[in-house]
Structure 1
Amino acid sequence: MPDLFFSNEKEGHFHNIIMPNVYIRIFPNGSVLYSIRISLTLACPMNLKLYPLDRQICSLRMASYGWTTNDLVFLWKEGDPVQVVKNLHLPRFTLEKFLTDYCNSKTNTGVTTLLTMATQTSGINASLPPVSYTKAIDVWTGVCLTFVFGALLEFALKPLVRHPGDPLALEKRLQCEVHMQAPKRPNCCKTWLSKFPTRQCSRSKRIDVISRITFPLVFALFNLVYWSTYLFREEEDETF
């Protein structure tokens, strides 16, 4: 009987319900089939620098405990040595729909988004082994948290940035209205330019408009650099 063992095994057990799951068959040509059902937890070193864009390969290492390769050689069965259940799949979350009824002007969506990002970051770190390097998911969540915190900071600074000569600056907000004569035909250029602050507009309004333009542009630039960098590194790692 081959003294087989798994060199990268961390934990394993046999199945004995209701009877031991093992059998031996001897064929007329002298071949002997020995089958046994076991469950194993194997060690698999992983490089998570590109997570979740990584691709890991875990090996199943088998060896003989007392015999050398001169006496015993293990070979995979020809044809279909590994069989996987067809309906086996990983659990995923599917976004069906979302409602905006609860996201009105009275709801502080920034704080909710910040708490959600913090919860997701904690869940990701809890489900992965601790490593000493920065993962791709850490860069993504870190930058997203920075943008959300920046939006909250911009919202908090708006009431403090007022005209220095306004005596009611701390009591009420300065309203800025841009009066434009409605054209007969819709003009996209004038509609876009009307969103920019004029000289009569308050500083807080100017900061708000600048943030509406700066935040999406910077986030789009970050996406371009992020995906270009990590997708290229993924292809490079697969090549080697």
Structure 2
Amino acid sequence: MRRLLILIQFCLTATAFQNNDTEQDFGYREKRSFYKSGKALQHETSRTLDYLLTESGYNKRVRPSFGGNPDEVFVNLAIRSMGPVDENREIFSLDCYFRQYWFDNRLRYNTSGLLELALNWAFLAKIWKPDTFFLNGKQSFLHKITVPNRFVRITPDGKVSYSQRLTIWAACPMNLRKFPLDSQTCRLEIGSFSYSAEELHYKWQKDPLSIDKDVSLAQFHLAHWSISKNIGHSGLRTRYGLRNDSTVAIDFYFERQTGFFLLQIYTPLTLIVFCSWVSFWLVKTEKGGEVPARTALGATTVLSVVNLGFGGKSKPKVGYSTALDIYIILCFASVFFALVEFACINFIDTFIKRFRIWEDEQLQKKEKLEKAETENVEKDEPELENQNILTYCSYEDQVKHDIDLVCCEEGNMKIQSPELDCLAPVAKSECVSTVSTQDACVSTEDEDFEDVEDETEKITMYSEYLTKVMECIDQTADSVLQRIFRKYSPDIVNMYIYTNTLDVIYSIDEWARKLFPLVFICIQLIYWSSYIYIF
């Protein structure tokens, strides 16, 4: 019995020592695996990769859950810079880190001491990865200086993290009817090029977007953004029709900063309109000294609006009118009507002056006619007496005297008799015409024109043609005014504008000083309230 107790005690002691040695050995091995040398860790990493990619029969051409449920790809963006937002080409750009991760059970590993496999871009050619692309992308590219900017991380549970740096140019359809008071929504859509929704699902990560604090745009301000995901038709086709795809999208809401347009376009146009109103204070005078000043001011303001508004390069080239176009047209109409107001008062003054000149001419003609009639009446009495005397003169008495007949150039007959002062009418056919020596003279001056150059002749002909055209226009205008004067002369004389022309002109200018600013202010209120709060 005693021997049995001693044997049991020995066995227990041996077991205790064995357990103690086992615990010490396990702690040592754990400590040894945690503090591995670089060479050992490199060896284990190479052995793990060889097993995952070669020994396990990994096929990079097949997605992880082939034949089963669709694989899920989680994406997010880290934006480093944005812009420009080009309204002429309707695109926007951003520079970002585009990150994706998915789970591939074929890449699980249980190597002690390896918490993550950090691999370079060359490893991407050996594993499966989703063929992600941007549905509305234009000219996106991957940064490759100094090497392709992308990397891969693999964790023991088979999570594959894939990151790359991209510059993305994406299409952004814009409605520029409120330009430059507009805000635009630009969407970035992400999906798979070859896999449908039955094979691949895209989802946003918990933090879908991060933007650097230094990100800013020249003409826009990023007000906010929103994300969405969709499973439906993306526009890609198969032989059976439109494909059902899984996509995610992020919408950027841009608000345009109007500081540039206010300083460069709106303010100068408004000041030009104000300058056009100065002509209302250039008072009409009898001598017309204000005419050159008002004409030059009106023409200058009109041309300035045309040059600044319609000739600007900062406007988008669209087929419809924008808010800026409407404002330019309003300013152009304001300065144009100011010039028309001066033209109206100048026409009134010119019309009345010409009418008064026409009245004086008509009055002079009337006086001349009356004077001519009185003179004709006085001349008729001696002519009647001479005719009576001629009737008593016989034909024989007229033959006895020599009569000298001299024909003048106009065909009138002069009868001179030294003895008889009787005037008898003689027919034109009986006149003896003589050729003037001046008509017989041959002019030698025409020969001098043969040596004139052709260019000088063309200039002379052109100037003569312009002179004739201007004379024709003046004659036409005069004839029109003459007809108006003849038709409405009784009414014009009785008008207030005829007797008080300057008072009417002064009153027109006085009303223009009040109405033009008032109407322009009302138009401004309607314009800004409509485009800011209504449309």
For normalisation by structure 2, the TM-score amounts to 0.33
CA contact (8 A) 2:134 2:191 kept: yes
Structure having the higher strand fraction is 2
**1:72-126, CA deviations, whole angstroms, 9 ceiling, x for partnerless residues?**
222223235141453513155385x99x9xx8997955444434433333436x6
In structure 2, the partner of 1:162 is 349
Q: Does residue 1:34 correspond to 2:162, yes or no?
A: yes
In structure 2, the partner of 1:146 is 333
Choose from 121, 130, 154 the match for 2:310.
121
C-alpha change, 1:166 and 1:129, in structure 2 (3 Å) is closer
AA aligned opposite 2:142: F
1-structure distance, mates of 2:144, 2:526: 54
Report 1:175-186 matches (<5 A): none
CA contact (8 A) 2:349 2:501 kept: no
2-structure distance, mates of 1:148, 1:164: 24
In structure 1, the partner of 2:515 is 214
Query: What secondary structure does 1:62 align onto?
Result: strand
Report the alpha carbon displacement of residue 4 of structure 1 after superposing the two structures with TM.
0.8
Report the alpha carbon displacement of residue 147 of structure 1 after superposing the two structures with TM.
0.7
Choose from 182, 188, 195 the match for 1:54.
182
- Tell me how many residue pairs correspond in the alignment: 200
C-alpha change, 1:214 and 1:15, in structure 2 (3 Å) is same
2-structure distance, mates of 1:17, 1:116: 50
Instruction: Flag the structure with larger Rg.
Output: 2
Report the alpha carbon displacement of residue 57 of structure 1 after superposing the two structures with TM.
0.5
2-structure distance, mates of 1:209, 1:32: 81
**1:159-202, CA deviations, whole angstroms, 9 ceiling, x for partnerless residues?**
333286658x9xxxxxxxxxxxxxxxxxxxxxxxxxxxxx7844
2-structure distance, mates of 1:85, 1:79: 16
Gaps of 5+ in 2: 1-128, 220-258, 280-292, 357-499
1-structure distance, mates of 2:160, 2:142: 21
CA contact (8 A) 2:149 2:164 kept: yes
CA contact (8 A) 1:163 1:203 kept: no
CA contact (8 A) 1:21 1:37 kept: yes
2-structure distance, mates of 1:38, 1:87: 16
AA aligned opposite 2:504: R
Gaps of 5+ in 1: 170-198, 235-240
C-alpha change, 1:204 and 1:48, in structure 2 (3 Å) is same
2-structure distance, mates of 1:153, 1:207: 12
In structure 2, the partner of 1:136 is 323
1-structure distance, mates of 2:199, 2:143: 30
2-structure distance, mates of 1:27, 1:117: 67
Report 1:6-85 matches (<5 A): 6-27=134-155, 29-79=157-207, 81-85=209-213
C-alpha change, 1:160 and 1:129, in structure 2 (3 Å) is closer
Report the alpha carbon displacement of residue 204 of structure 1 after superposing the two structures with TM.
3.0
Report the alpha carbon displacement of residue 148 of structure 1 after superposing the two structures with TM.
1.5
Report the alpha carbon displacement of residue 146 of structure 1 after superposing the two structures with TM.
0.7
2-structure distance, mates of 1:18, 1:206: 78
2-structure distance, mates of 1:34, 1:89: 29
C-alpha change, 1:64 and 1:158, in structure 2 (3 Å) is same
2-structure distance, mates of 1:14, 1:67: 22
CA contact (8 A) 1:162 1:203 kept: no
Query: What secondary structure does 1:56 align onto?
Result: strand
C-alpha change, 1:22 and 1:112, in structure 2 (3 Å) is farther
Q: Does residue 1:230 correspond to 2:531, yes or no?
A: yes
CA contact (8 A) 2:305 2:332 kept: yes
Query: What secondary structure does 2:339 align onto?
Result: helix
2-structure distance, mates of 1:153, 1:141: 18
1-structure distance, mates of 2:350, 2:513: 21
2-structure distance, mates of 1:59, 1:154: 51
1-structure distance, mates of 2:203, 2:165: 19
2-structure distance, mates of 1:142, 1:135: 11
Q: Which moved more, 1:158-167 or 1:22-31?
A: 158-167
2-structure distance, mates of 1:111, 1:33: 68
Report the alpha carbon displacement of residue 154 of structure 1 after superposing the two structures with TM.
2.4
CA contact (8 A) 1:163 1:202 kept: no
Query: What secondary structure does 1:161 align onto?
Result: helix
1-structure distance, mates of 2:317, 2:205: 34
AA aligned opposite 1:6: F
1-structure distance, mates of 2:508, 2:183: 43
Structure having the higher helix fraction is 2
AA aligned opposite 1:78: K
CA contact (8 A) 2:132 2:192 kept: yes
